[in-house]
Chains A and B, each alone.
Chain A
Amino acid sequence: MRGVAAERLTPSVMPHWQALRRRERWRPAEIAFWLGLAAVFFVFPKHLVFASQVLITGLFAMSLDLILGYAGIVTLGHAAFFGLGAYSAGLLAKYGVHEPLAGLLAAAATAGLGGYLSSFLVLRGGDLARLMITLGIGLLLFELANQATALTGGVDGLQGVEIGPIFGLFHFDFLGKVAYLYVLAVSFTLFVLVRALMMSPYGLSLRGIRDNPRRAVAIGVPIRARLTNIYTFAAMIAGVAGALLAQTTQFVALDVLSFQRSADLLIIVIIGGTATLYGGFIGAALFLIAQDRLANLSPEYWLFWLGILLIITTLFLDAGVMGGLLRIETLVRRRFGIR
């Protein structure tokens, strides 16, 4: 057995090991972030439906960040997996299985299968080819769902989605209280999983592949297999996010598969900051809140401001809003001599 605690380190590595260890630990800001999300439940009881949408979009954005930020795979069709998950959960609930967790599992399985199969098409080309192939797959699925009205309801959406109580105990209520806690619990669980994955040797190897695929091959990394793997996993999470939307709204609209959703998601991740774990959630919150506020004034202005926001973040913020926040943190720490 290669025990962990028993192995002693050479003293000279010790400080480096400690520095790496510090990066892996949960920071106070992270704990505050999740506590803040829990506090939303009490502070904004009338906006929980909207808050759930933000979280779901954040989770969906995190799944894109896994492949875009950590593995360097560009895509314009990530909504395909969101939609697969939404329809899987919706159809399952419509045709008899009302347990929400079963819906999540079904969504993860379907979207994961979709991700695995499509990865062989997506991962062969360069960036431009990947954009086009993911776009193509997204359009294809959208049109299939649009035409298969008997199954999906087409443009009218999937009606009659009935979701039972969670664990047979907690019924979804009209104000979306249970729904918010449910979405928060699922998002947090998946976040913890993803965080562990990115801090692990596997996460390191992904960063290596993004950094320099030629070298990654030259040190023996089976790149294709690893990218297929992360692509599948990201698709599963996107599927779960789609399922959460289907379950909490008890409806599946055709636009879960729309190109607009994929494109918005890309914007969200880039504004929030790629490869930062939290960028997806931050970006989703900024995007949806801004959209909500500004679109009320005038829809044209929304796109105008969005355009400005995009240009500014791309030009001036290295890794989006999260990158900016991290830079401020570094400056403050340096200023006050905190490690």
Chain B
Amino acid sequence: MSAVLQTRDLCKSFGGLMVTHNVNLQLQAGARHALIGPNGAGKTTLINQLAGVLAPSSGSIWLDGDEITELPAHERVQRGLARTFQINTLFAHLSPLEAVTNVIIERQRRELSVLQRRFFPLTHRRIELDEAHELLSRLNLAQDCMRATRELPYGKQRLLEMALALACRPKVLLLDEPAAGVPEAESEELFSVLGELPADISVLLIEHDMALVFRFAERITVLVDGAELLSGTPEQIAEDPRVREVYLGKRRG
């Protein structure tokens, strides 16, 4: 299998501080790949470089065999790279239905005429509204789809984070701590959404919740101080003494 998303010797430094250090990440097609590491290991910095909101200092990023290192963030989305945010980054004043329809129309924009995009009302976009509603239903958001996003309970907002990314119909999905802050009682809903992601989407998951990581991931990469410590199957990672030391437990005695 070929890598859908790849970094080659990716480095990022802020001043003298190396936050990404020669990372060579390979995301296989259809992967369920988790990226773990202690706080400050540079996980989100890495995601931000992949998504294009942060420029790497050196090295390159490849999507589907094309180099995208210099590509603006919005064009990466059009090429099939979507992300979610660790801290809810939503359209607070739009309803979920409007927000997801907005994403879908953006994705389809080349197929729509200027008239359709600018002068016909939103309700003329029935196919897109229908698709948005269908996606929201799958994520248990249908009942709330006309409320203002800012009024939704936190757990629902987390799901909407996923919905906005999924509406991009990504080939590669970067999930930045989807379960962050979700109370125990609501996390099962999120687990099942993750479990039901379409098999052809390649997923890179950053997560602190080890239960979720080991349930979801088929491959795990451990990042420490911006560098890759090791990659392997969940079993290999769980058994590796170095991982235990830096991440899973520093309790020695």
Contact = CB atoms under 8 A, between A and B. Distances in A.
A215 B90 contact: yes
Interface residues of A, number: 37
Interface stretch (B2-10, B72-80, B200-208, B219-227): B72-80
Contacts of B89: 212, 214-215, 218
Interface of B is mostly: helix
B53 A214 contact: yes
A217 B123 CA distance: 24
Contact of A220 (B107, B119, B121, B127): B107
A211 to B, nearest CB: 4
B127 A2 contact: yes
A7 B137 CA distance: 20
Interface in A203-252: 203-205, 207-208, 211-212, 214-215, 217-223
B29 interface: no
A191 to B, nearest CB: 14
A217 B85 CA distance: 12
Contacts of A315: none
Which among B51, B91, B167 has the highest number of chain A CB atoms within 10 Å?
B91
A4 B124 contact: yes
A226 to B, nearest CB: 10
B122 A200 contact: yes
Given A196-B119, A197-B118, A201-B117, A220 B77 contact: yes
B127 A7 contact: yes
B164 A200 contact: no
Contact of A4 (B74, B91, B101, B126): B126
B31 to A, nearest CB: 21
Nearest to B103: A219
Contacts of A21: 121, 123
A17 B146 CA distance: 10
B82 interface: yes
B102 A205 contact: yes
Contacts of B156: none
Interface in B61-118: 72-75, 77-78, 82-83, 85, 89-94, 97-99, 101-103, 105-107, 111-112, 116-118
18 contacts: A4-B120, A9-B129, A10-B133, A12-B142, A13-B133, A24-B123, A193-B119, A201-B112, A201-B116, A201-B118, A214-B89, A215-B89, A218-B73, A218-B164, A220-B74, A220-B168, A221-B106, A222-B72
Interface of A: 2, 4, 7-10, 12-13, 16-17, 19-21, 24, 193, 196-197, 199-205, 207-208, 211-212, 214-215, 217-223
9 nearest A-B pairs in the assembled complex, by CB-CB distance = A220-B77, A13-B133, A211-B91, A24-B121, A219-B103, A202-B118, A7-B126, A201-B105, A199-B121
